[in-house]
Structure 1
Amino acid sequence: MLMRFGLGALGLGPREFWTMTPREFDAAAKGRLGLFNDARALDRAGLAALNEKFPDRAAS
């Protein structure tokens, strides 16, 4: 049942599915089903912090 949901509803490939942790699968499933009640929108300060922590690399 989980494999059917992962490959079908989530659109994962077999390699992606089998390398996911249970926590990652749970988050993907909840996101797909719209079950995240605690998710907040990212504000400008949060986006700026993420951009600083994980800057885009120039394509080479």
Structure 2
Amino acid sequence: MAGLAGVAFGWSPEAFWGATPAELAALVAVVAGERAAPPDAATLQHLMEAFPDG
């Protein structure tokens, strides 16, 4: 996996071993073209109420 990350993302072995699984997954998702659906109105409203920072 470290070798593949080096070829695909230009990572050194140190970068691979220092990365979190979430960081690697995020890069793989971008390369694969996967996208999360945007939040709906209810989710946005909930977030605005939870984090009312103006």
Q: Give the TM interval when normalised to the shorter protein.
A: 0.5 to 0.7
Question: Residue type matched to 2:26 in 1?
Answer: A
Q: Runs of 4+ in structure 1 displaced over 6 angstroms?
A: none
- The equivalent of 2:22 in structure 1 is 23
What is the identity percentage for the equivalent residue pairs of Structure 1 and Structure 2? Answer: 29
Give the alignment's Cα RMSD to 1 decimal.
1.7
Q: Which runs of 5+ in 2 are unaligned?
A: 39-54
* Structure with the greater alpha carbon radius of gyration: 2
Name whichever structure is richer in helix by fraction.
2
Q: Which runs of 5+ in 1 are unaligned?
A: 41-60
Pairs aligned (count): 38
When normalised by structure 1's length, the TM-score is: 0.50
